[in-house]
Amino acid sequence: MNDPQQAMASVWRIVRAIPRGATLSYGEVARQAGLPRRARWVAVALKAAPPKLRLPWHRVIGAGGRILFPAGSRAQREQARRLRAEGRDVRGNRVIAVARGPRASDLDAWLWRS
DNA sequence: TGTATGACCCTGA
DNA sequence: CTCAGGGCCATAC
């Protein structure tokens, strides 16, 4: 998986598959995309993603449920807004873990079924 | 070739 | 809870 184009496509594919209301960390996305230890690359890939794709980028958050954009920034507010629109709670730059719905341990199955 | 810079992550204090 | 330090990997100059 050294071809940037292909690696980026893999990231996009995973992000696109994140169910509404669910979230994945950058590291998890990288791992799911077959790119372990390349969390930073996920960020690069998201930034480079054509808006045309309409990727649910807001469902990708930092490890531990943190929104990584600077507090108060345009992007931070937008991400919080979209997550809340999907029923998630956001306090400051923290995304509250889901009490109902798929748990982290079940997310794999959730993501890969079909 | 070398350095700086991230939409990152983990651990330890 | 915050903070620093080290690791990580691709990009830009």
Q: What residues approach strand C to within 7 A at the CB?
A: A 2, 4, 37-41, 44, 94
Question: Tens of pLDDT along A8-20?
Answer: 999 999 999 999 9
DSSP character string of A19-65? PTT--EEHHHHHHHTT-TT-HHHHHHHHHHS-GGG---GGGEEBTTT
Q: In this structure, are residues A59 and A98 in contact, taking their beta carbons and an 8 Å threshold?
A: no
| Strand B bases, protein C-beta under 7 A | 6-10
> For residue A30, which nucleotide's C1' is closest to its Cα?
B8
Each residue's pLDDT tens digit, A19-54: 999 999 999 999 999 999 999 999 999 999 999 999
Q: pLDDT, tens digit, for every residue of A60-113?
A: 999 999 999 998 899 999 999 999 999 999 999 999 988 655 555 555 555 543
CA-wise closest residue to A111 among A99, A96, A100, A101: A101
Q: Cα A105 from chain centroid?
A: 16
